[in-house]
């Protein structure tokens, strides 16, 4: 399978050095429980019939129905989807969510589709997967290049196929269709709680603590705002076209306002009037990663911190808000250099946690206030961050290994409850 899967397996091997699990658990985690590949037909606006390849993988459902996003991207493949479903299995276990890991996607460049074609594609995908997903089987959510509107179309199509209203089949939906308040900000808010819990432990909870954030999309921009509001100094941010840096700290609300107005950070550093108001230096994504800051937050793409640049990272701590931004070899170098790496399966788990809250609300028919959602999110993120930190200290391992130990313990317990070789041979 893909690099993400290979890296996850290597991290899992490290966890096995610290925790004993049954051979049954190891065997169950080798392969996905179920996977499907479909050809999705779409009538294009010009009348042509075009087929797109779609995938959905349910990796493991020992702890409950599988959960994971649907991505629309030209590079989506069965290997990628299976790898991400494997990784989601551990993320859900770290946060003690009653889920296993799932993932899905379509190989397509959605930017080349009209809105009519995008809707037809979304509905056709659910037509193909109508019996493979469900509120008690597999619950999709938004991912790369999918959003609340697309989730709404998919839920509506599932309802049409099954002739019933089943809002719990999809999370990340529009509020008017059963979505949860707080879902849009959940990844950033959850990451903020993890950061707040860790910083005092490494003596970085000062207003002078400096942050650099690679990725100024939804999660990165919201997290930058939360850090700025809390009094920290965000000195650099970037998007796909580059970034800005000011050692004295950026005016994050102003930067966000211009980003949302212009759809790019370029207006912040390319227009004289804006540069005068918000002085900053233009900086590349590559250079941002190597800035001399206290905390680095990769919140954009996979494999940004690798063996090629890890030795140049100067931050004291890295919090992974993106999925898989650090390669196995890159992390080995950073950890050996004394850098704390807080893994994605903990840091960015706020999104799937509030998706779980949405699923719970859909099933009960009772909806929570924003304060209730945020309180529950903070409690769960802080609790599991403390659990992972305790394992890190107890085992003398990295936080990623500790997170895998934590997750593996919960997964193994659920698998062993079904009976193991030792049980049937009367050895336990």
Please say whether the beta carbons of 349 and 322 come within 8 A.
Answer: no
Start-to-end CA distance of the chain, whole Å, equals 35
- Give Cα separations from 188 to 219, 305, 322, 347 (angstroms): 5, 20, 10, 9
Any bridge partners for residue 85, and if so which?
Answer: none
DSSP SS3 for 215: coil
| Look-up of token digits 């090629």 | 308
CB atoms within 10 A of CB 76: 25
The position carrying tokens 């009653």 is 98
- Distance (Å, rounded) from C-alpha 361 to C-alpha 22? 35
Handedness of CA 154, 155, 156, 160 (dihedral sign): positive
Alpha-carbon span 55 to 165, nearest angstrom:
24
The answer to whether the beta carbons of residues 341 and 331 sit under 8 Å apart is yes
- Sign, Cα dihedral of 403, 409, 412, 414: negative
Do the strands 317-319 and 295-298 form a parallel or antiparallel pair, or are they unpaired? Answer: parallel
CA separation (Å) from 358 to 218, 365, 368, 373? 19, 10, 9, 9
Tell me which of 67, 91, 103, 259 is the catalytic residue.
103
103 tagged catalytic: yes
Torsion of CA 166, 167, 172, 178, to 10 degrees: 170
Phi-psi region of 202 (alpha: psi -120 to 50; beta: other; left: phi over 0): alpha
Count other C-beta atoms under 10 Å from residue 68's C-beta: 31
CA dist., res. 148 & res. 150, Å (int): 5
The two tokens of residue 422 are 């030792």
Active-site residue set: 103
């Amino acid at each position: 399978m893909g690099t993400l899967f290979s890296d996850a397996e290597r991290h899992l091997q490290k966890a096995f050095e610290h925790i004993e699990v049954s051979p049954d658990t190891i065997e169950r985690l080798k392969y996905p429980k179920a996977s499907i590949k479909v050809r999705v037909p779409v009538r294009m606006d010009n009348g042509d019939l075009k087929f797109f390849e779609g995938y959905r993988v349910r990796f493991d459902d020992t702890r409950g129905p599988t959960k994971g996003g649907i991505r629309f991207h030209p590079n989506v493949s069965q290997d990628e989807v299976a790898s991400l479903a494997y990784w989601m299995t551990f993320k859900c276990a770290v946060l003690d969510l009653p889920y296993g890991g799932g993932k899905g996607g379509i190989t397509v460049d959605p930017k080349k589709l009209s809105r009519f074609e995008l809707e037809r594609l979304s509905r056709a995908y659910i037509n193909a997967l109508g019996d493979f997903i469900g509120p008690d089987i597999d619950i999709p959510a938004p991912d790369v290049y999918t959003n609340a509107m697309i989730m709404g179309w998919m839920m509506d199509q599932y309802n049409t196929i099954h002739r019933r209203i089943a809002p719990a089949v999809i999370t990340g939906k529009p509020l008017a269709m059963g979505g949860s308040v707080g879902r849009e900000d959940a990844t950033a808010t959850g990451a903020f709680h993890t950061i707040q819990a860790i910083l005092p432990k490494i003596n970085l909870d000062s207003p002078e603590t400096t942050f650099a954030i690679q990725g100024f999309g939804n999660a990165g921009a919201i997290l930058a705002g939360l850090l700025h509001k809390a009094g920290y100094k965000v000195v650099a941010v970037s998007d796909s076209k580059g970034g800005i840096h000011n050692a004295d700290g950026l005016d994050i609300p102003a930067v966000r306002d211009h980003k949302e107005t212009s759809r790019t950070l370029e207006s912040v550093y390319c227009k004289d009037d804006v540069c005068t108001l918000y002085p900053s230096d233009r900086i590349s994504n590559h250079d941002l990663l190597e800035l001399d800051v206290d905390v680095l937050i990769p919140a954009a793409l996979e494999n940004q911190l690798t063996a090629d640049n890890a030795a140049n990272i100067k931050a004291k701590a890295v919090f992974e808000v993106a999925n898989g931004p650090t390669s196995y070899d890159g992390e080995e170098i950073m950890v050996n250099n004394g850098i704390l790496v807080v893994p994605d399966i903990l840091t960015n788990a706020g999104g799937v946690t509030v998706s779980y809250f949405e699923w719970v609300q859909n099933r009960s028919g009772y909806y929570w206030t924003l304060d209730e959602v945020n309180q529950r999110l903070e409690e769960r993120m802080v609790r599991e961050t403390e659990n992972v930190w305790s394992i890190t200290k107890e085992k003398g391992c990295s936080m990623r290994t500790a997170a895998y130990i934590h997750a593996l313990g919960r997964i193994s317990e659920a698998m062993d409850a079904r009976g193991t070789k030792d049980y049937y041979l009367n050895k336990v």
